[in-house]
Amino acid sequence: MQFGLMSVSDITRDPTTGYTPSEAERIRDVVTIARHAEDAGLDVFAIGEHHNPPFFSSSPTTTLAYIAAQTERLVVSTSTTLITTNDPVRIAEDYAMLQHLSGGRMDLMMGRGNTGPVYPWFGKDIRQGLQLAIENYNLLHRLWTEDVVDWEGSFRTPLQGFTSTPRPLDDVKPFVWHGSIRTPEIAEQAAYYGDGFFANNIFWPKEHYQRLIALYRQRYAHYGHGTPEQAIVGLGGQAFIAKNSQDAVRQFRPYFDSAPVYGNGPTMEDFTEMTPLTVGSPQQVIDRYAAMRDTFGDYQRQLFLTDHAGLPLKTVLEQIDFLGADVVPVLRRELAQNRPAGVPDAPTHAARVKAKYGDAEPRQPRPNANRGDNVTGGSPYQDTPRGAAFGLAGKGA
């Protein structure tokens, strides 16, 4: 099982000091946070995509490539990549490049985001958000799994004899999680492709996510990818930790009370009762998150939100130390106990290459610029395998 951090990249005033960091400071700090996560023994660092203040992460691939270059073991990921407003061709190119540069230490989470105005900023209609998510991912999937693509859809110009470059590392596409907090069609989409489903288990009661995860597991089995228990599930989470619960509550309360995402809503006590936010001692966090398996079944990835709400860098690094030293090692042991043998580990590039090729050398596409298309050497107008598309009609679907 993988444990890690996810950042929403907010730039928020510290209510205890009145200090608001600059964009430059927060960008530097997030690199420090990611490096510290690896040093603390965590497995994953994920960052979101936003195109408006008060967030800085408009280019997650640039950020993650820089982090990957400064780490050795850490898996870099997104939380999320906007499948609705990014061109699938651009996503295919950018993340395949990140896959090569990181040596396969990456994956990504597809989502629609939670900022409505981003649609017109990129020339899209929010009323078509779900259709965009379905069609765009269909194209992205094909760009990574077919060397030459003929395609026509509703939201971008057609492609004829197109090859996305670079091709995925070892001819194995990046692993994709589909993130959702409310939409059963996204759980269905993840199941259809045999991808992972990430429930951003932060702001809603557990019963809401139970329904989405149960649907995903059932449909994963329906599409023939394995049993419901073998579906790949990830969860978000939040914790603020101190040696004793009284100190944790005292230290975190001003941040909770002032943060835009919490402010003027439930009290901190009510919020921690209704959601997975846990403010307390390491043992309280362990108890809360060890029980996630009872609620959602065995799962593969647990990410914690730590650098938000104006918390200063020093405090965030202390939180990572608590997770790395006191919480995650115990959770690893407890969640491994009685784990059925058929439940898969979290997907890694090495494991997926092994599953595809066994002991054979993986295929490495080599461009051929002098004959036809630039990978296979065939005619760019030859027929290509199309396969059934998820809920789509039209040429190339």
What is the spatial distance between Cα 153 and Cα 135, in angstroms, rounded to a whole number? 7
Look at the alpha carbons of 159, 165, 170, 172 in this order and tell me if their dihedral is positive or negative.
Answer: negative
Q: What is the mean pLDDT of residues 227-244?
A: 96
User: What's the one-letter identity of residue 305?
Assistant: L
Nearest to 282 by CA among 321, 327, 239, 238: 327
pLDDT over threshold 80, residue 85: yes
Model pLDDT, residue 366: 81
Model pLDDT, residue 48: 92
| DSSP secondary structure letters along 151-173 | E--SSS--EEEE--SSPPGGG-P
Model pLDDT, residue 385: 43
What is the spatial distance between Cα 177 and Cα 175, in angstroms, rounded to a whole number? 7
Model pLDDT, residue 119: 79
Range of the domain at 17: 2-357
Instruction: Let me know if residue 395 belongs to a domain.
Output: no
Q: What is the mean pLDDT of residues 84-92?
A: 94
Q: What percent of the chain has pLDDT over 90?
A: 77
Strands (E), 29-118: 44-47, 75-78, 81-82, 108-111
Instruction: Let me know if residue 183 belongs to a domain.
Output: yes
pLDDT over threshold 70, residue 200: yes
C-beta of residue 249 within 8 angstroms of C-beta of residue 268:
yes
C-beta of residue 49 within 8 angstroms of C-beta of residue 287:
no
Instruction: Let me know if residue 144 belongs to a domain.
Output: yes
What is the spatial distance between Cα 30 and Cα 36, in angstroms, rounded to a whole number? 10
Strands (E), the chain: 2-7, 44-47, 75-78, 81-82, 108-111, 149-151, 159-162, 176-180, 196-199, 233-235, 239-241, 278-280, 301-305
pLDDT over threshold 50, residue 128: yes
Reported as a single tens digit per residue, the pLDDT across 344-385 is 999 999 999 999 999 999 998 887 665 555 565 555 444 444
The pLDDT-based confidence of 203 (bands split at 50, 70, 90) is confident
pLDDT over threshold 80, residue 201: no
Q: Parallel, antiparallel, or unpaired: how do β-strands 159-162 and 149-151 relate?
A: antiparallel
Give this prediction's pTM: 0.91
Give the least confident one: 5-14, 114-123, 322-331: 114-123
Instruction: Let me know if residue 388 belongs to a domain.
Output: no
Reported as a single tens digit per residue, the pLDDT across 56-66 is 999 999 999 99
Q: Which residue has the higher pLDDT, 204 or 378?
A: 204
Q: Which two tokens stand for residue 361?
A: 């050398």
Instruction: Let me know if residue 214 belongs to a domain.
Output: yes
Average pLDDT over the chain, rounded to whole?
A: 90
Instruction: Let me know if residue 75 belongs to a domain.
Output: yes
Q: What percent of the chain has pLDDT over 70?
A: 92
The pLDDT-based confidence of 51 (bands split at 50, 70, 90) is confident
Instruction: Let me know if residue 375 belongs to a domain.
Output: no
Q: What angle do CA 48, 195, 71 make, to 5 degrees?
A: 45
Model pLDDT, residue 263: 65
Give the contacts of 101 (CB within 8 A, at least 6 positions apart). Answer: 65, 68, 69
What CATH number is associated with residue 139?
3.20.20.30
pLDDT over threshold 90, residue 37: yes
pLDDT over threshold 60, residue 79: yes
Instruction: Let me know if residue 219 belongs to a domain.
Output: yes
The pLDDT-based confidence of 122 (bands split at 50, 70, 90) is confident
Reported as a single tens digit per residue, the pLDDT across 15-29 is 999 999 999 999 999
Please tell me the total count of domains within the chain: 1
Give CA separation, 339 vs 186, 297, 300, 342, in Å: 27, 10, 11, 8
The pLDDT-based confidence of 283 (bands split at 50, 70, 90) is very high
